[in-house]
Amino acid sequence: MHGTATLGKRTNLIIVGNGMAGARLLEEVLARNAGGRFAITILGEEPHGGYNRALVSEVLSGARDAGTLLRRPREWYAERGVALRTGVRAEAIERDQRAVRFGDGEVVCYDRLILAAGSRPVVPPLEGLHAAGGVWKAGVFTLRTLEDGQRIAEQAALCRRACVLGGGLLGLEAAGALLQAGLEVHLVHAATHLMERQLDKASGALLKSGVESLGAHVHLNRRCQAVLGEGRVSGIALEDGGTLDCDLLLLACGTQPNTELAAGSGLAVGRGIQVDDQMRTLSDPSIYALGECAEHRGIVYGSVPPLWDQAQVLADHLTGSDPQAAYQGSRIALKLRLSGLSVTALGRSEVREHDELVQFSDPKRGIYKRLILHKGRLAGALLLGDPDGSPYLTQAFDRGTPLPTNRAALLFDLDRLGR
């Protein structure tokens, strides 16, 4: 076993996951001048340091080189006394020993253990997904890591036609990237409209028209049943009996929190690893979780701003810089920018009792605005085709500030309101 429960007066801190949540927490801890108080080890399964995962689709399109996404070189970690372990996964937590067993057999002790394991792509049970030997057929991908983006970009250069399964945020961004790469793109979505978790039918229909204007073929209310081809994908078969030809298939069917490590050690797990307001697991006061693998008050957050909020609270708690720090949840704000298309979704989309609904639609211009107000404040908003109006409403939503009583001004005079 490597290490002891303490190293002199330093606290052994292990961060499992060097994705956006784990890397952000590390930065927050170091920013509080606490690096000298901790012996920090951070490990990730990928072969490099932290990077901006939100921009991976731009690698796919060729708009960015993969190297430009890497935020922290190895030297950055070494200079700050952080032990960076790449290409290694945590296999087990031995809670009675306060130790983590790594995939290479090493066992490292901790005083505080942070689980920032993120999530993984959901892979639907498709017939014919696997070729001989149990591997996926050539040309089938998910888009999650930097390496995924690089491999898809390399394959796209050799392909003519792509199918993307999933009409959520990731599927739309991937479809746009493949269009930019010069492929014919078919977007297949099982729901009746795109981004159904954020948009209503009217805004979903406008988004479909906008995506089709970019050149994509959108197939709604259709499910993929099987992957066609022998050793390589040649198309997909749909449940309604139809088929679509393709030589590249991208699965963008959502994500699932990585909770296996936690569950295997007896930590409380629901949809994610259950935590309290200090991001401490409900089962063990020395183990914490944050990011896409964590479940706080029944919610698992998949967007970036909540990860930042959680990292700040957890860093305040770990370092003692704010003993009263408590995570109260985050307001959800999603933005899609796709080759001139602008979509902003804030908060909730359902109208409840005592809510006030303000909306405007101009289908010919591709503009749709729908605001949900509760007690004079913005509880939710959908904005399509209005990139200039969203900053004011986003700020009002984040801060919970009262809105002007002139509701028409909210829809048509946002520039003036923002000043």
**Quick check: 166 pLDDT over 90?**
yes
pLDDT for 323 equals 87
**Quick check: 389 pLDDT over 80?**
no
Q: Which of 9, 44, 8 is nearest to 26 (CA)?
A: 44
For 38-42, 61-65, 131-135, 392-396, which range has the lowest pLDDT when averaged over its residues? 61-65
* pLDDT tier at 36, thresholds 50, 70, 90: confident
**Quick check: 6 pLDDT over 50?**
no
**Quick check: 181 pLDDT over 70?**
yes
What integer is the mean pLDDT of 71-89? 92
What integer is the mean pLDDT of 342-365? 92
pLDDT for 417 equals 44
**Quick check: 8 pLDDT over 60?**
no
pLDDT for 34 equals 82
The strands making up 235-238's β-sheet, listed across from edge to edge, are 224-228, 235-238, 243-245
Q: Is 86 left (phi over 0), alpha (psi -120 to 50) or beta?
A: beta
Mark out the alpha helices in 249-349 (DSSP H runs): 260-264, 304-319
User: To the nearest whole number, what is the mean pLDDT of the chain?
Assistant: 92
Q: Which two tokens stand for residue 372?
A: 């949900």
* pLDDT tier at 413, thresholds 50, 70, 90: low
Residue 350's contacts (CB-CB under 8 Å, 6 or more residues apart) are 380
**Quick check: 3 pLDDT over 50?**
no
Q: Which two tokens stand for residue 37?
A: 């108080």
pLDDT for 60 equals 84
For 6-15, 233-242, 251-260, 287-296, which range has the lowest pLDDT when averaged over its residues? 6-15
**Quick check: 337 pLDDT over 80?**
no
Q: How many CA atoms lie within 13 A of 160 on its CB side?
A: 4
Q: Which two tokens stand for residue 241?
A: 């009996």
What integer is the mean pLDDT of 210-222? 97
Return d(Cα 403, Cα 410) in angstroms, integer: 8
Tokens 């069917």, residue? 253
Question: How large a percentage of the chain has pLDDT more than 70?
Answer: 96
For 27-36, 123-132, 335-344, which range has the lowest pLDDT when averaged over its residues? 335-344
